Amino acid sequence: MIDTVSSDALALRATASGFDAVRAKLPDTGNPDRPLDNVTIAFQLSHLGTLLTELADEVLHRAAERNRQGHTAPAIMGFAAAVQPACRAASALGAVAHQLSTRDQAGHLGDEPGAQDTCDVDRLVIGDVLDVADQALRETSEGLRAAGETISPSSARVEAARSRSTTAAPSPTPPSPAVPPAAPPGRNSRGR
C-alpha cells in the first residue's frame, strides 16, 4: 500500500523547491551577474509555465484518484491554492518580457533627448515588476510547504512532539517494593 500522506507531502515540498529555483534565478536590475534580457526572462517564464502545468496536473491527478487512492484533500487544496500566486508571478514575468521588448524596439531612440530618462524609468518599472514576481514566487513556495507541513509535519517537529509526549512524568505513587517490608521492631512476624 502506498503511503499517500507521505507522497503528498513530498510532492508539495518538491514543487515548492521548483518555484524556489525559479525565484533564485530571477534577474536583478542592479546586478550585472544576473542579466536582464528577453532570453533570460523568456527562459524563466517558460520554466514557470512548466511548473504551472505541473500544479494543474497535481490537482487533476489527486482529484481524479482521490476515491481510489485516498489522496488527502489538504494536498489538493495546497496545490490548487498555489496556482493563484504562481499565475501572478507568470503575469509579472510576462510584463517584464513585454517591457524589455518595447525597450529593445525603441532602441533606435539612441541619443535623442530624454532617451536616458526613459531608460532609467524603464529600469525602475522593470525592477518593481520583478519584485512582484519575486514576492509571488515566495508566496507560492511558502504556501506549498505549509500545506506539506499540515499533511505531514517535518521529522524535526515530529521528534520534538515525541520527546514531549514520551518524557517520563514523575509517578504519583511510589513504586511497590519487590520485597515485603520488615516487621516493625519489637514485633515477631509469624508466617503460616
DSSP code for 37? S
Gap between the Cα atoms of 135 and 171, Å rounded: 52
pLDDT of residue 169: 47
Which uninterrupted H or E stretch holds 133?
helix 115-151
> Computed over its alpha carbons, how large is the radius of gyration of the chain?
30
Q: Has residue 146 been placed in a domain?
A: yes
pLDDT of residue 187: 53
Q: Has residue 163 been placed in a domain?
A: no
Q: Has residue 175 been placed in a domain?
A: no
pLDDT of residue 101: 87
In which domain, by residue range, is 51 found? 4-107+120-154
Exposed/middle/buried for residue 130 (C-beta within 10 Å: 0-12, 13-18, 19+): buried
pLDDT of residue 1: 40
Q: Has residue 183 been placed in a domain?
A: no
Q: What is the CATH number of the domain that holds 100?
A: 1.20.120
**Intervals of the chain under pLDDT 50:** 1, 155-160, 162, 167-172, 192
Count how many domains the chain has.
Answer: 1
What residues contact 62, with CB distance under 8 A and at least 6 apart?
8, 71, 75, 76, 79
pLDDT of residue 140: 97
Q: Has residue 46 been placed in a domain?
A: yes
What residues contact 91, with CB distance under 8 A and at least 6 apart?
none
Q: Has residue 89 been placed in a domain?
A: yes
CA 65 vs CA 61, 73, 82, 176: distances in Å? 6, 11, 20, 56
Q: Has residue 168 been placed in a domain?
A: no
pLDDT of residue 145: 97
- Percentage of residues in the chain having pLDDT higher than 70: 65
Q: Has residue 58 been placed in a domain?
A: yes
pTM of full prediction above 0.85: no
